[in-house]
Amino acid sequence: MMEMIFLALTFVSFFVADDGAKPRDEVAATVNGSPVFSADVERELARALRGQSVDDSTRATLRDATLQQLIDQQLIAQALMRQKEWASNQDVDLELSRLEKRLGARGQSLEDFLSAKKLDRAALRRQLVWQVGWGRYLEKQLTDEHLEKYFQSHLREYDGTRIRVAQVLIRVGAAGSSPDDKSREEAMAKAKQIREEIVAGKITFADAAAKYSTGPSAKTGGDLGFIGRREPMPEVFSKAAFQLEKNAVSEPVVSSFGVHLIQWTESKPGQKTWFDVRGDLEEDVTQDLFQGLAKRERMNAKIERSEEHTSELQSLAYLVCRLLLEKK
């Protein structure tokens, strides 16, 4: 899931002085005057797809999502530079030298490496400056103290608690057909209407599931039994469920299966400590830091996208297309 959420976390289209970027390199966007290169967008999109074939419409939306991600990386890089917490050209030179030595020990040249990765030197430097700068920042943030504090404030999500959930599932589009923007919007609108009826007390959750849900659990009032935070449901479903209060009804949640309304009614507390789930904590804190920094910086940023990339990204289509890679 981390690959899906970040799409391009190991790359940043961040301009480093004297990095060898060519003036003719196509620019997909500028962030406070600094470029995000189209070549980086295409390269990272190909890495995320891993050879998976998608239609032109889906590819265009995923490309837009990748560009959005790289813009966020640019914003974070600029923010950390202002705080003097970013990698310098000297840091990148040192990392590049280390890379060349490691390659040489394997009998491989830097040029061979670049060719195999479909990189040029400028793109490699952008990759290294992100890896060094972001890694340095995370090292200061992912301390035992911070991780334990985060664990305590999200205890139910990490201590092994299991909750009994039910769902109302609205399929997107007709069975056997590829969903389009219209069918996604219709499914979302229907889910919102059903939720309003449940919250207003016009219908119970179980009766709504029996009446409207397209999932097999409709026969049992939407009951799915007990689930853990990390299994067996898709991440987006589990995350939404564990953030709910008991008996509350979620806002519509989009997954590769359709649009869900979620409710939980029982729980079984877990016994895990923060150290038992350190890996999960590090991933989630990293995600929160990334998204929080980017959101804060976007408020006052000047972001200009090239003419060919100026179409608006519909929020529902964006979420659905990101979730196409869920099973990777």
CB atoms within 10 A of CB 184: 21
Which distant-in-sequence residues (6+ apart) come within 8 Å of 99 by Cβ? 110, 113, 128
Q: DSSP labels for 132-196?
A: HHHHHHHHHHS-HHHHHHHHHHTHHHHS--EEEEEEEEE-SSSTTS---HHHHHHHHHHHHHHHH
Amino acid in the structure at residue 92: V
Q: Which residue has the higher pLDDT, 171 or 56?
A: 171
* Residue 310 in this model has a pLDDT that exceeds 60: no
For residue 109 the two structure tokens come to: 């040249």
> Which 8-state DSSP code applies to residue 227?
E
Query: What does the pLDDT look like over 218-257, one tens digit per residue?
Result: 999 999 999 998 888 888 999 999 999 999 999 998 888 8
- Expressed in angstroms, the distance from the first to the final Cα of the chain is 8
Total residue count of the chain as it appears in this document: 328
> Which 8-state DSSP code applies to residue 283?
H
* Residue 117, SS3 per DSSP: helix
Alpha carbon distance 197, 215 (integer Å):
19
Amino acid in the structure at residue 89: N
Query: What does the pLDDT look like over 83-109, one tens digit per residue?
Result: 888 888 898 899 999 999 999 999 999
Average pLDDT over residues 155-176: 85
Average pLDDT over the chain reads 82
Q: What share of the chain is helix, strand, coil (3-state, %, to 5)?
A: 55, 10, 30
Alpha carbon distance 77, 294 (integer Å):
10
